[in-house]
Homo-oligomer: A and B are copies of this chain.
Amino acid sequence: MADQLDVLAVGNAIVDVITTQSDEFLADNGIPKGSMRLISAEHAAALYARMGPGREISGGSAANTTAGVAALGGRAGFIGRVTDDQLGRVFQHDIRAVGVDYRTAPMVGAVPTAQCLIVVSPDAQRTMSTFLGSCQELDEADIDEARVAAARVTYLEGYLWDPPAPIRALKKAIAIAHAADRTVAMTLSDVFCVAGHRADFLGLMRDGSLDLVFANENEAMALFETDDIQVAIDGLAAIVPLAVVTRSAKGAVVVQGAERHSVPIQPAARVLDTTGAGDLFAAGFLAGFTSGRDLRESAVMGTIAAAEVIEHYGARPEADLQARVRAVLG
């Protein structure tokens, strides 16, 4: 099929506003360093007013993943909602400019395009305050049956599993993908996201809705309410066919039944901004997986893509990822 996609992602469509601030800024504003919080439009305006100058760069977790898949030579598509405003047009432009097939109709109305206010600390850690705007207005009508049915992997952003309309949209995508014998993947997104929807997420794994799950170690442990990462890994192995757990500086583990493949991180030229590291790990893994690489090589591709994105500001790749993969995997 000519227009078949390797990865079709469903997620939040967000423009990031990136600023660098001292640790005192976070303390003074009562923001836990490294956290991801949802904030109101009013709160966003107040926080923005206190922030230093920013740079606006397109983001959104699953959207970043599709940009990475495309940079790695995969055919990627994205479903997510912006508003027809200046930042919505920035999001549309940027994702299409990297070759991602993006067709979701923008909203017209008073709710603006989502923004994520990102504070990067001197140690490169990012702290995110997200105003979700129109991106959580996604609904079933936005899920294009033919595109989902034709995509090898449909990749769902856990962050979207919250208001009723996006949950309906994600359920519809799962049903279409499975009816077409396709793979459904999901990222658990965030530890608070897991805490809020733990029963749902476990249910989606136990009832066979998910074939592949991405989680960092904190999310995996939150899912099983444990502080033992091995318990979490074994827990995932028991309820989902394939899982990938990222462990920051300790690399990543691929979990398939009794099999475990651990890979170390790749060295980064410098560590400037860790925003998007998890999103790009998923991109590398999915690009490898859908192009026929084995699980270990797919995970190595994840670590290569993650290493690149932390070398610069912004959560989408800027260097030649395919060249980096060739340098490591041949």
Contact = CB atoms under 8 A, between A and B. Distances in A.
Contact of A56 (B20, B49, B90): B90
Interface in A53-93: 53-58, 67, 85-87, 90, 93
Contact of A97 (B53, B93, B95, B113): B53
Contacts of A313: 55
Nearest to A316: B53
Interface in A191-240: none
Contacts of A86: 85-87, 112-113
Nearest to A58: B53
Contacts of A49: 93
A56 B86 CA distance: 11
Contacts of A113: 86
Contacts of A314: 55
Please indicate which of the listed interface residues A51, A93, A313 has the most CB atoms of chain B within 10 Å of its own CB.
Answer: A93
Interface residues of A, number: 27
Contacts of A93: 48-49, 51, 53-54
A163 interface: no
A94 B58 contact: no
A98 interface: yes
A48 B93 CA distance: 8
A81 B48 CA distance: 21
Given A86-B85, A86-B112, A87-B86, A98 B53 contact: yes
Interface string A158-183: 00000000000000000000000000
A267 interface: no
Nearest to A88: B86
16 contacts: A20-B318, A51-B93, A51-B97, A53-B58, A53-B67, A53-B93, A53-B95, A53-B316, A54-B90, A54-B97, A55-B55, A55-B314, A56-B57, A85-B85, A86-B86, A86-B87
Interface of A: 20, 48-49, 51-58, 67, 85-87, 90, 93-95, 97-98, 112-113, 313-314, 316, 318
Query: Which 4 residue pairs spanning A and B have beta carbons closest together?
Result: A56-B56, A53-B94, A86-B86, A53-B97
